[in-house]
């Protein structure tokens, strides 16, 4: 299970990560299905201390969870949209309602709070343009969400998909 980003440790964690931790993180980022035995051999520890380090990284929120990367088209998500969402009024009540709606909708697979022209950037998947249009129309029609505008950019082709954050200078 993935931990909520709001429950993660602060940026000060970096200082607490040593070379072995970085090697573990790099190896797990590349292959989360690696056995603890293979992981321990790869980072130069025996299995027990390696397992303890992984558990510590999980408990500290450095490792948020494990997931499988699935090709969106294989699930019928033929439309991928990068969406800028601007609020009419960024009052706390409207913001909380909108954030609950955005984070609970299954077609909205990623949401970031941003500064600049928009208040949020979202990645939305849909089977068709019609389905995408219906989803955004529903959001715009709900006055309780406080959305002032939605700007959509459709993905034509993905050149590089997100598959994990860089893990410093660790060579695994």
Output the pLDDT for position 13.
47
* E-assigned strand segments in 64-169: 79-87, 108-113, 120-126, 147-154
Q: Which of 143, 145, 151 is nearest to 116 (CA)?
A: 151
Residue with tokens 């409207």: 94
Parts of the chain belonging to CATH 3.30.70.920? 72-154
| Global confidence as pTM | 0.81
CA angle centred on 46, ends 168 and 15, rounded to 5°: 30
CATH 1.20.1050.90 fits domain 14-59: no
Q: What is the pLDDT along the chain (172 residues), one digit of tens a residue?
A: 455 554 445 454 455 899 999 999 999 999 999 999 999 999 999 999 999 999 999 999 999 999 888 999 999 999 999 999 999 987 888 899 999 999 999 999 999 999 999 999 999 999 999 999 999 999 999 999 999 999 999 999 999 998 888 987 645 4
What pLDDT shows up at residue 115?
A: 94
d(CA 9, CA 139): 32
Specify the CATH architecture of the domain 72-154. 2-Layer Sandwich (3.30)
Q: How many C-beta atoms surround the C-beta of residue 106 within 10 A?
A: 6
pLDDT of residue 6: 45
Burial class of residue 107, CB neighbours in 10 A (0-12, 13-18, 19+): middle
Q: Which residues of the chain are in CATH 1.10.10.10 domains?
A: 14-59
What does 2-36 look like in DSSP terms, one character per residue? Answer: PPPGGGS--TTHHHH--HHHHHHHHHHHH-TT--H
pLDDT on residue 15: 52
């Amino acid at each position: 299970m993935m931990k909520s980003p709001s429950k993660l440790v602060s940026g000060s964690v970096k200082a607490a990560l040593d070379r072995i931790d970085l090697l573990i993180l790099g190896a797990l980022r590349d292959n989360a299905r690696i056995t603890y035995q293979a992981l321990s051999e790869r980072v130069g520890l025996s299995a027990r201390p390696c397992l303890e380090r992984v558990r510590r990284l999980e408990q500290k929120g450095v490792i948020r969870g494990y997931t499988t990367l699935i090709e969106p088209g294989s699930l019928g998500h033929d439309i991928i949209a990068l969406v800028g969402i601007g609020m009419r009024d960024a009052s706390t009540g409207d913001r909380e309602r909108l954030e609950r709606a955005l984070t609970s909708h299954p077609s909205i697979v990623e949401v970031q709070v941003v500064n600049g022209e928009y208040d949020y950037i979202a990645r939305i998947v849909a089977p068709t343009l019609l389905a995408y249009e219906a989803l955004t129309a529903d959001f715009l029609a709900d006055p309780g969400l406080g959305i002032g505008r939605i700007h959509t950019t459709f993905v034509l082709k993905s050149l590089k998909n997100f598959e994990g954050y860089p893990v410093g200078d660790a060579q695994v």
